[in-house]
Amino acid sequence: GAVVSQHPSRVICKSGTSVKIECRSLDFQATTMFWYRQFPKQSLMLMATSNEGSKATYEQGVEKDKFLINHASLTLSTLTVTSAHPEDSSFYICSATWGGGYGYTFGSGTRLTVV
């Protein structure tokens, strides 16, 4: 139980284009989802917290107009990287809480490469 599906697993895009990453909770309702970013040889850094039906809360230094998060349903959150640049190349990971906040499940991650 408590499975989170993240797609795509890998994406290569041209500089200046936008990329959407989806995160779905398959067997539970995810009121809260988190988006992380991980650069090579570094730990996961929280980008934003999204609650279903409300605006996401972004961490300091994360541009909300560049990383658009939508959490319109209890099973789907999306992260759109707008006007992507090579420095946005990273590993993006979503996570969702379940069991009233006692459990945390992660997606398999999306490797974004901007060329």
Partner 1 sequence: DAKTTQPPSMDCAEGRAANLPCNHSTISGNEYVYWYRQIHSQGPQYIIHGLKNNETNEMASLIITEDRKSSTLILPHATLRDTAVYYCIVLSSGSARQLTFGSGTQLTVLP
CB of 34 or CB of 67, closer to partner 1 = 34
Footprint of partner 1 (CB under 8 A): 4, 6, 31-32, 34, 36, 43-46, 49, 91, 93, 95, 97, 100-109, 111
Q: Which is nearer to partner 1, 41 or 83 (CB)?
A: 41
CB 38 within 8 A of CB 44: yes
Smallest distance, Å, CB 62 to partner 1? 13
Least separation in angstroms between CB 115 and partner 1: 19
Q: Give the count of beta carbons closer than 10 Å to the beta carbon of residue 107.
A: 25
